[in-house]
Amino acid sequence: MSIADKIFIDMCRDIIDNGYSSQGQEVRPRWNDGTPAHTIKRFGIVNRYNLAKEFPVITLRPTYLKSAVDEILWIWQRKSNNIHDLKSKIWDSWADENGSIGKAYGYQLGIKHKYSEGEFDQVDRVLYDLKNNPSSRRIMTNIYNHQDLHEMNLYPCAYSVTFNVTGNKLNAILNQRSNDVLVANNWNVVQYAVLVHMFAQVSGLEVGELVHVIADAHIYDRHIPLVEELITRESYDAPKLIINPDVKDFYDFTTDDFKLENYKKGEQIKNIQVAV
């Protein structure tokens, strides 16, 4: 069993067995038929992934690497807030008639700020510090910009990353206010694990830990039977992440520079309803 599978199974079991149900409360999300989408949740989940030991993609079902990488490049590399710059349809329901999701995600990372060394956006500041100030305890990003929340079609879920170099290893803490465990948990883990790998490669560092901190880790009511079935499946050894070693500039990465070697996994869950 992969470590990522064990972490996922234990988390789901804990949420289902010990979580708090929102039944009886007024909730914002709805199913397509208009029914309130209730959840069972745990507060303050912290999962640690040793990226030097294995790549944390679950094997219980597929997580599609290229789509996950395309989305993380859309946000962090292209710094886009327009779904026309993204191949998948994940964000379509949050976009306006022009394809914009408002001043959210990539838009926030692309805003330039003044520093003593010059002007940087948040991504370029991280890249600069990893090469020039690796011992800094100030290497972080935050896209939960309160003054722009009213112009965001969706408030950021994964909103802050703190990077920390220990020895020659790059570690990161991903802070997430809310996480739909079935739909998005491993998706987000894979994305930010890849991001740490990219930043480490272009900065001459090795990968260390990814720590995923989730304030509200929840399973929707209609997802509980699916999760119960998923976590009883056979698990396999973790695959190996292969990255094109010739890429030395973060802005040169493409989805074709990543692949999973020996990725054995279970069948995809079909027809998952998504609450909006």
Q: Which residues are catalytic?
A: 157
CA 69 – CA 105 distance, rounded (Å): 15
Q: In this structure, what token pair is assigned to residue 245? A: 């070693």
222 marked as part of a ligand binding site: no
218 marked as part of a ligand binding site: yes
Q: Where do runs of H (alpha helix) occur along the chain?
A: 3-18, 65-76, 106-109, 122-132, 181-203, 224-230
177 marked as part of a ligand binding site: yes
What's the DSSP call for residue 250? Answer: G
138 marked as part of a ligand binding site: yes
220 marked as part of a ligand binding site: yes
96 marked as part of a ligand binding site: no
13 marked as part of a ligand binding site: no
- Give the chain's radius of gyration (CA, Å): 19
197 marked as part of a ligand binding site: no
275 marked as part of a ligand binding site: yes
Which distant-in-sequence residues (6+ apart) come within 8 Å of 27 by Cβ? 36, 37, 38, 39
Query: Which residues in 109-252 belong to E strands, given as ranges?
Result: 113-115, 118-120, 140-142, 158-166, 169-180, 206-220, 240-243
Question: In this structure, are residues 243 and 197 in contact, taking their beta carbons and an 8 Å threshold?
Answer: yes
> Binding site for dUMP: which residues?
137-138, 177-180, 188, 218-220
> Binding site: which residues?
137-138, 177-180, 188, 218-220, 275
